């Protein structure tokens, strides 16, 4: 089974990203069909969201992939739109690529009572046609990845200091323009 073309996903983020603060990332999934999707009992949709640091800065610490989060398995009713919120703390001033994969999965086995919001280990990306084990607090889930659709956006993250400098510079430029316009208007009288 594959993801239908009428099932779409979109990624939304705020314009400004401040280092060390939680950045809300919204993934919107739409079912434009007139049927419930997926229709099979043991098939579900799962969103996997992660960020990658794509611009290197000297002295950078840490790994390229910093945050990985999952939605709980879900199904979409006809014409339904669902939004899922994830929060990432981006630790350094850098450029990031935020990625979201909409995975069509078959649940093979569930051990314990996994808390999907507390991911410990495991990935679904690059597992198309294979099984993947996801470890969560209080349990694990084994899934077979049937199909994947991905979206991504680039986001630059800055510090509070740099943001204040940018806003101050813009204010100074606007003040200079206003002064020049004022002088021109006074000379024109």
Write out the two tokens for 99.
């990625």
User: Residue 93 domain-assigned?
Assistant: yes
pLDDT of 128 reads: 82
The answer to whether residue 65 scores a pLDDT higher than 70 is: no
Question: In percent, how much of the chain has pLDDT > 70?
Answer: 90
Domain span at residue 61? Answer: 7-158
- My answer on whether 79 and 166 are in the same domain is no
- My answer on whether 140 and 120 are in the same domain is yes
Q: Give per-residue pLDDT as tens, 145-167.
A: 999 998 888 877 776 667 677 77
- My answer on whether 66 and 26 are in the same domain is yes
Q: How confident is the model at residue 58 (pLDDT cuts 50, 70, 90)?
A: low
The answer to whether residue 134 scores a pLDDT higher than 60 is: yes
46 in Cβ contact with 124 (< 8 Å): yes
pLDDT of 20 reads: 80
The answer to whether residue 81 scores a pLDDT higher than 90 is: yes
Average pLDDT over residues 37-54: 88
pLDDT of 126 reads: 72
User: Residue 181 domain-assigned?
Assistant: yes
- My answer on whether 74 and 90 are in the same domain is yes
Residue identified by tokens 């001033």 is 93
Q: Which residues contact 45 (CB under 8 A, 6 or more apart)?
A: 7, 29, 37, 38, 73, 74, 75, 76, 102, 103, 104, 105
**More confident position, 186 or 3:** 186
Q: How many domains in the chain?
A: 2
Phi–psi pair at 43, nearest 5 degrees: -100, 140
- My answer on whether 83 and 175 are in the same domain is no
User: Residue 1 domain-assigned?
Assistant: no
Which CA distances in Å does 168 have to 15, 128, 173?
Answer: 18, 49, 9
45 in Cβ contact with 75 (< 8 Å): yes
Round the average pLDDT of the chain to a whole number and report it.
Answer: 84
- My answer on whether 85 and 150 are in the same domain is yes
User: Residue 106 domain-assigned?
Assistant: yes
- My answer on whether 136 and 82 are in the same domain is yes
Distance CA 167, CA 68 (A): 32
- My answer on whether 164 and 150 are in the same domain is no
- My answer on whether 55 and 145 are in the same domain is yes
């Amino acid at each position: 089974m594959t993801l239908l073309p009428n099932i779409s996903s979109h990624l939304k983020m705020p314009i400004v990203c401040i280092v060390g603060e939680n950045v809300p990332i919204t993934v919107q999934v739409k079912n434009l069909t007139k049927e419930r999707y997926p229709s099979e009992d043991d098939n579900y949709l799962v969103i996997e969201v992660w960020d990658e640091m794509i611009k290197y800065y000297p002295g950078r610490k840490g790994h390229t992939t910093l945050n990985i989060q999952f939605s709980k398995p879900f199904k979409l009713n006809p014409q339904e739109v669902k939004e899922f919120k994830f929060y990432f703390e981006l630790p350094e001033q850098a450029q990031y690529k935020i990625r979201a994969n909409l995975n069509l999965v078959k649940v093979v086995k569930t051990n314990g009572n996994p808390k999907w919001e507390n991911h410990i280990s495991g990935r679904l990306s690059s597992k198309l046609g294979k099984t993947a084990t996801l470890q969560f607090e209080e349990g694990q889930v084994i899934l077979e990845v049937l199909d994947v659709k991905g979206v991504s956006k680039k986001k630059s993250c800055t510090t509070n200091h740099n943001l204040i400098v940018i806003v101050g510079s813009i204010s100074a430029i606007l003040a200079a323009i206003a002064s020049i316009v004022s002088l021109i208007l006074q000379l024109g009288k």
